Amino acid sequence: MTFIAIEGIDGSGKSTLSRRLKSYLEDKGYRVFLTSEPYGNPLIREEWIKSGSVESALKLAISFITDRVVHSRKIAERIRKGYIVISDRYFLSTVAYQGLNLKPELATPEKVLSFLLGISEPVEAWPECTIMLDVDPDTSVSRISGRKGRSPFEEKGYLEDVRSFYLEIANLIASDRVKWKTLGEIFIIKSNARRSEVMKQATGAVSRFLSGENQSQ
Ligand code: TYD
151 CA closest ligand 1 atom index = 14
What confidence score (pLDDT) does residue 150 get?
80
Domain map (residue ranges) of the chain: 2-216
Q: Is the pTM of this model over 0.85?
A: yes
Q: Which residues line ligand 1 (CB under 6 A)?
A: 10, 37-38, 64, 89, 93-94, 97-98, 151, 153-154
Q: What is the mean pLDDT of each run of 10 residues along the chain (217 residues)?
A: 96 96 97 98 91 94 98 98 98 97 93 97 98 94 85 88 97 94 96 91 96 63
Q: What CATH class is the domain 2-216? A: alpha beta
Q: Do the beta carbons of residue 15 and residue 137 sit within 8 Å? A: no
Residue 75: its H or E element: helix 54-80
The residue contributing the CA closest to ligand 1 atom 20 is 94
What confidence score (pLDDT) does residue 217 get?
40
Tell me what percent of the chain is helix, strand and coil, each rounded to the nearest 5: 60, 15, 30
Tally of CB atoms within 10 A around 131: 28
What confidence score (pLDDT) does residue 216 get?
45
37 CA closest ligand 1 atom index = 24
The residue contributing the CA closest to ligand 1 atom 10 is 151
What confidence score (pLDDT) does residue 146 get?
82
What confidence score (pLDDT) does residue 215 get?
52
Q: Do the beta carbons of residue 130 and residue 5 sit within 8 Å? A: yes
Centroid of ligand 1 to alpha carbon of 215 (angstroms): 35
